[in-house]
Amino acid sequence: MEAMPATPARTALICGIGGQDGAYLAAHLLDLGYAVVGTSRDAQASSFETLARLGIRDRVTVESMTLVDFRSTMQAISRHEPDEIYNLAGQTSVGLSFSQPVETFESIVIGTVNLLEAIRMLGRPIRLYNAGSSEMFGNTGTEPAGERTVLRPCSPYGIAKATSFWQVAQYRQAYGIAACTGILFNHESPLRPERFVTQKIVAGACRIARGELQTLALGDLSVQRDWGWAPEYVVAMHRMLQIEPLEDFVIATGHTSSLEDFVAAAFAAVGLDWRRHVVRDPKLTRPSEIVCGRADTSHATARLGWTARHTMPDVVRMMVEARLAREAVAPRRAA
C-alpha cells in the first residue's frame, strides 16, 4: 500500500516574538506542529532571551522585519508565506506611552495597517491575529467590559490599540481579510521585564527578602486590574484564528483585584508584610489612569471554549517561585 504524503506543517509568523507573549505563543504553536518564524527589528542583534529561557531558540526561524516599513513587511511575508500571522509587535508599555506618544502610535497603528495592506495586496488566505488591549476601554466604572463595550481609551497606548482595532475591523468588512483582534486584559509571567509593575513588585519583594533592598517605591495601589497567566492567553490567541467567521474576543479571568492585593500576595509569598517595606511615590502615578478593569469573558467561553484556570493569587505565586528558582541557580551558573 502506497504511503500517503505527509501533511505540510502550517507556518506561523509571529511579529514581536522576543516579548513575553511572542515566546509563549511560539512554544504553544511548536507543540501543535507549526513551523514558526519570528521577527524583530534586528534579528542578528537580538538575544531572544525569552525563547532561550523556554528552550525553543533553535526551533524557531528568526527574521529581521520592521513593521513600520511596508517594504520590509511585504518581503518577510512573501519570503515565508505564512498561513497565520500574529501581530504582537509595537511599543508595549502604557506608562512609556505618555512620554513617547508618537512612537507608540506609529509602531502600533502603522505596523498594523502595513500587515493588513500586505495581506490584501498578496491576495493569499492568510489569517491575522492582532493584539488589542483592555486599555482600549478606558474607565467603564463597575461594568465589566465585553466585545460591545464602547471604547474610551485614556492613554496614548490605549488610543493606538483602539485605532488598530478599528483598522482590523474595517479590512475584515471591506476586503474580506480574515483578521481579528484579541482584547486581552493584563496577563503576566516570569518572562515579564521589570519595567512592568508586576515584575517590579515580584523582583522587589525577593530582593528585600534577601536583604539586598530595604524599600520598594510604587505609585497608586488602589487601581484594580484583572490579572491572568500569559501561557494560557496565547492558547486563546491561536483558537481565535481557527473559527469561522473570525471575530474579536475579550480574554481575561473575570476576576478583578487591586494592585495592593497583588503587592500583599507577592510579599506574603516571601514571608514579609508589604506595609513595612513599600513606600508611595507620587511621581510614579500616570497623568490619567484606569481606575478599575473588569471583564466579561462569557463570549470567549461560549465560542472558543476558553476559560482562564489561574487568577491573580496563582499568578503571583508562580512568578515569585520562578524568580526564586532562577536566583538560586544564578551563582552556580556564574561560577
Q: What is the CA radius of gyration of the chain?
A: 20
Does residue 264 form part of some domain? no
Number of Cβ within 10 Å of residue 297's Cβ equals 24
- 284 vs 216: CA distance, rounded Å: 12
Residue 323 forms part of a structural domain: no
Enclosing domain of residue 109: 11-190+229-255+294-310
Q: What is the CATH number of the domain that holds 84?
A: 3.40.50.720
Cell, residue 152: 474610551
Residues 6+ apart with CB under 8 A from 108: 90, 91, 157, 160, 161, 163, 164
| Within-domain flag for 222 | no
What's the total number of domains in the chain? 1
Which residues are the active-site residues?
A: 133, 135, 157
Residue 53 lies in a domain: yes
Find out whether 60 and 37 touch, Cβ atoms under 8 Å.
yes
pTM to 2 decimals? Answer: 0.94
pLDDT tens profile 19-62: 999 999 999 999 999 999 999 988 787 889 999 999 999 999 99
Please report the pLDDT score of residue 330 as a whole number. Answer: 60
**49 within some domain:** yes
Does residue 122 lie in a domain region? yes
pLDDT band at residue 284 under the 50/70/90 scheme: confident
Domain assignment of residue 208, yes or no = no
Interhelix angle 197-209/312-334, nearest 10 degrees: 60
The string of DSSP letters for 155-218 reads SHHHHHHHHHHHHHHHHHHHH---EEEEEE--EE-TT--TTSHHHHHHHHHHHHHTTS-S-EEE
> Which pLDDT band, with edges at 50, 70 and 90, does 7 fall under?
low
Q: Indicate whether 273 belongs to any domain.
A: no
